[in-house]
Structure 1
């Protein structure tokens, strides 16, 4: 069920009469990672909605990191699958009077594609998206990956934090040390252990994160990839593009952002990425 804050955002979006834009954050981040994006889109005439995953950690990165590794901070429901989270966002979108655009990052990018494939988005932007069901080539796990073996119950049933070294290597490899430290303190939180395991198994055509690639009501789709992204390298993002570009009903595009890593939505270059997403949506949606 949407939280009281999310209900308030939905009510506000409906009252404005504007086209909503639903921002879906990825693993190890919070909805606050979209605050600057929401302001830009609001100024462009859209109604931003920045929901959390179900039973998300408390607001703010520092409080959410207080639990020991392998345990869930108070208020979390860590054993969330991608399918369960997609259902949560589908319910939230169902409360909107107008079909929204959807923008997602990392696992949020996968969720954006799932929602678009269900006909719930008038346009979608998937940034550094986790791999689709049946996607090839296999996703490349970065060294010092934060997720342990699937058989480990501490991973499957709890939240998994990132150390600073893991965050620096996987998320913030394309920025300097000072910015990496700032990003970690501002944004990094423990994440459910299940979705990364699902992403690692996405080559299986029967894995859960299913996307309807040929949906007639999918809407236009842009996939974005950072040139230096270690979590979702170009080969993985392009495989998702190749699996959807044959949708004969709607345009599918892909774009690589030079010199950018996985932190491209929150680091110092966020405005360029935001502007690119906004321009794409504005091509098809009149705010």
Structure 2
């Protein structure tokens, strides 16, 4: 039976960023989906002109939207997420809705305490004002170059900004930044579960938005809880890794990991 892969984008990047992955995975026998977040338009341009649609959308709303799509599938899919999409992928795996998950530079789950300076600088365009919790925020080209494009050429960063970036809700960043101060946080994941599917965490060594230390701490949380998770690090990659010129390396390695984990179609 054909296995479905659900790709989940993160903040500021439209789901069209996954199109090269979808084409590759479908060539390898998978069925693929790349759902939009609540409030996203069907294209980059449409989303840019309808910013109000994503107002006050948080982690739970994004997770529930993907959960409803998955519940309509014949079998539990594989979920592949980037940044906040990687956090959503872990929540779906935790709910028992996914057969396995691959999380590329995933946003921190509750319990991760590392707060590197680059993460703070990348988050500042949103967190600088409490009112942004209920707004959609767009990055400037310069902010994108620091947060996403620091490990690629300025020209490529500018091109990715033009083709892929969208305004995104501020609320998920506020939820992640206050997670360890709250008893119940939308970013909480049960890392103690031993009955979930396989999990691969991918860290990018040059990532400013989700530095590798954040991903390593996530990996340690799973290890302490007794739940298995594998960690892979790409020393020279930044936050744009899944959709810049080097995307194919990550995609091929993900396919190989799925094969080795018994998740191939």
Which category of TM-score, normalised to the shorter sequence, fits these structures?
Answer: over 0.9
Unpaired runs of at least 5, structure 1: 1-16, 67-71
2:198 maps to 220
1:219 touches 1:251 (CA, 8 Å); kept in 2?
no
Please report how far the alpha carbon of residue 143 of structure 1 lies from its aligned counterpart in structure 2 after TM superposition. 5.6
Question: What is the CA deviation profile of residues 186-222 of structure 1, one whole-angstrom value per residue up to 9, with x for unaligned ones?
Answer: 1111000100111222333522211121223321101
Q: How many residues align?
A: 261
Please report how far the alpha carbon of residue 256 of structure 1 lies from its aligned counterpart in structure 2 after TM superposition. 1.0
Residue 50 in structure 1 maps to residue 27 in structure 2: no
Residue 147 in structure 1 maps to residue 126 in structure 2: yes
1:144 touches 1:166 (CA, 8 Å); kept in 2?
no
Question: What is the CA deviation profile of residues 16-59 of structure 1, one whole-angstrom value per residue up to 9, with x for unaligned ones?
Answer: x4110000100001110100001111111111111011121340
2:24 maps to 40
**Partners of 2:199 and 2:225 in 1: how far apart?**
10
1:64 maps to 47
**Partners of 1:143 and 1:216 in 2: how far apart?**
34
- Of 6, 14, 26 in structure 1, the residue corresponding to residue 10 of structure 2 is 26
**Partners of 2:194 and 2:122 in 1: how far apart?**
39
Question: Equivalent residue of 2:233, what SS?
Answer: strand
**Partners of 1:286 and 1:151 in 2: how far apart?**
44
TM-score normalised by the chain length of structure 2: 0.93
Please report how far the alpha carbon of residue 259 of structure 1 lies from its aligned counterpart in structure 2 after TM superposition. 0.8
Please report how far the alpha carbon of residue 245 of structure 1 lies from its aligned counterpart in structure 2 after TM superposition. 2.2
- Of 47, 54, 60 in structure 2, the residue corresponding to residue 83 of structure 1 is 60
**Partners of 1:143 and 1:97 in 2: how far apart?**
39
**Partners of 2:157 and 2:142 in 1: how far apart?**
10
TM-score normalised by the chain length of structure 1: 0.86
**Partners of 1:228 and 1:172 in 2: how far apart?**
10
Unpaired runs of at least 5, structure 2: none
Q: Residues 112-261 of structure 1: matches in 2 within 5 Å?
A: 112-138=89-115, 140-142=119-121, 145-149=124-128, 151-152=130-131, 155-204=132-181, 206=183, 207-246=185-224, 248=226, 251-261=228-238
**Partners of 2:242 and 2:182 in 1: how far apart?**
29
Sort the Cα spacing of 1:104 and 1:171 in 2 relative to 1 into closer, same or farther, 3 A. same
**Partners of 1:63 and 1:165 in 2: how far apart?**
22
Query: Which has the larger share of helix?
Result: 2
CA RMSD in angstroms comes to 1.7
- Of 254, 277, 282 in structure 1, the residue corresponding to residue 254 of structure 2 is 277
